[in-house]
Amino acid sequence: MNAPAETVRGGVAGWFEERLRISGLLAALLHVRIPVSAQTYYLGGISLFLFGVQLISGTLLALYYKPTADAAYESVKYITSVVDFGWLIRSVHHWGATLMIASVGLHMGRIFVQAAYKYPRELTWMFGVLLFAVTILFGFTGYLLPWDQKAYWATTVGTEIAGGVPLIGDALLNLLRGGADVSDATLNRFFGMHVLVLPLLLAGLVVVHLTIVHQLGLASPRHPEPRPVRRGGPAQPVDEPLKPFFPHYILDELIAWFVVLAALVVLASVLPAGLEDEADPLITPQHVKPEWYFLSVYQLLKIVPRTIGIVAPMIAVAILLLLPFLDRNPAVAKRRRPLALSAAVLAVIGLVALTVWGAQS
Ligand code: HEM
């Protein structure tokens, strides 16, 4: 008997198609059309690319890194000075973290400005906020791993702040440190979180995030999504021209990835990741400063009472998470969202001012 027409294909592609029947899935994934007015600036894809860079460079570092208080510092020194291109891989991982936090932050900014968090994308946004939180946790847990003075003391201060969280502070401090102080136990926990728990969590969240993005298609910054008329009536039609996602958008995205990769290698080569003296729990350095993305909280804690400095960022995260439900205005055009946009501008000015102040103090 003859095979069905669609399975009679030659070559390697045909061989796999007969066994996996994947062409239907690929067509469903790729042949999506997106609103012509949608401007993503490729930021979601760039965040995804940087996650890939972090996975690859982190895996290479893990081939030589030793996660114990006795050996961590020496192993990082060995990676930097003996292993071929070890310094470059470590610096790419260092700058990749900074660029990833920046690109996730900018991606969130573009979603906000274009009002793409509104109906029906509330869940896409909420999973995004979780992704942002996990990305920051990557930075926090990774910072301790070189086990130098900066790493040790910044983590001492950072975990102390976590210890100030109302009600659960003590338990959280103990959970993070694995004891009263930052020690070998802390390093083991942070390493486990950094290389196993967080990557799995981020990968799972990305899958959910992108599945919802695919299901809903990209938002139009010109028209609010038409809500279906109650009792099953048809949705109002929207006259929005569409463009194909594949190959046009994907090829542009690839170009963006190459540009980011080039920037990453230049940054890593010109400003390689540093290493201070080995951690010494008995010598407190004069100035303990966190990474740039924690400077605003660090500075806030210096100028307001401690409880306010700890609770205020938590409230900010809760507001961010619940934003699609707090902002009841259905409009997406910028001129019809003066309140949301001015509140965001003020928040960004405050964040930047605290960060700059924190960097200088
Ligand atoms: C690791 C972090 C993240 C990755 C890899 C990621 C990836 C993506 C990608 C590839 C897209 C489609 C293209 C684009 O809009 O650029 C997208 C869309 C979207 N993302 Fe993210 N994202 C991340 C974090 C976030 C964050 C932090 C938020 C907001 C809090 C967010 C909210 C959204 C929303 C609402 C859309 C739909 C946009 C639309 O329909 O126009 N994402 N994301």
> For residue 38, which atom of ligand 1 is closest to its CA?
41
| Residue found under tokens 């950072």 | 158
The Å distance, Cα 138 to ligand 1 centre, comes to 18
- In the predicted model, is pLDDT for residue 1 greater than 50? no
Per-residue pLDDT at 4 exceeds 60? no
Residue 182's contacts (CB-CB under 8 Å, 6 or more residues apart) are: 144, 152, 155, 156, 159, 281
Q: How far is the CA of 354 from the centre of ligand 1 (A)?
A: 26
Chain segment 88-101, per-residue pLDDT in tens: 999 999 999 999 99
Query: Strand 242-244 to strand 33-35: parallel, antiparallel, or no bridges (unpaired)?
Result: antiparallel
Q: Which atom of ligand 1 is nearest to the CA of 216?
A: 40
Break the chain into its structural domains and give their ranges.
39-221+240-286
Rounded to whole angstroms, what are the CA distances from 238 to 74, 183, 206, 218, 222?
Answer: 62, 59, 29, 14, 10
Pocket test for ligand 1, best of 127, 213, 323 (most atoms within 8 A of CB): 213
Helix (H, G, I), strand (E, B) or coil at 183: coil
d(CA 242, CA 119): 20
Q: Greater confidence, 4 or 58?
A: 58
**pTM for this structure?**
0.94
Token pair recorded at residue 176: 């993070």
Instruction: Pick the closest to residue 289 from 297, 281, 280, 298 (CA basis).
Output: 298
Say if residue 8 is exposed, middle or buried (CB neighbours under 10 Å; 0-12, 13-18, 19+). exposed
Structure confidence by residue, pLDDT tens digits, 95-126:
999 999 999 999 999 999 999 999 999 999 99
Q: Whose CA is nearest to atom 40 of ligand 1?
A: 218
Phi, psi of 34 (to 5 degrees): -120, 155
Decide which of 1.20.810.10, 1.10.287.610, 3.40.140.10, 3.30.420.10 is the CATH code for 39-221+240-286.
Answer: 1.20.810.10
CA of 43 to the centre of ligand 1 (A): 8
Pick the range with the lowest mean pLDDT from 134-138, 225-229, 282-286, 289-293. Answer: 225-229
* Average of per-residue pLDDT values in the chain: 94
Question: Residue for token digits 């081939």?
Answer: 63
Q: Determine the pLDDT at residue 97.
A: 98
The alpha carbon of 23 and the centre of ligand 1 are apart by a number of angstroms equal to: 26
pLDDT digits (tens, 9 = 90+) for 256-303: 999 999 999 999 999 999 999 999 999 999 888 999 999 999 999 999
Identify the CA nearest to 108 among candidates 320, 309, 290: 320
Q: Residue 361's pLDDT band (boundaries 50, 70, 90)?
A: confident
DSSP letters, 193-232, are IIIIIHHHHHHHHHHHHHHHHHHH-PPPSSSPPPPBPTTT
Distance CA 35, CA 49 (A): 23
100 CA to centre of ligand 1 in angstroms: 13
**CA separation for the pair 195, 55 (Å, rounded):** 9
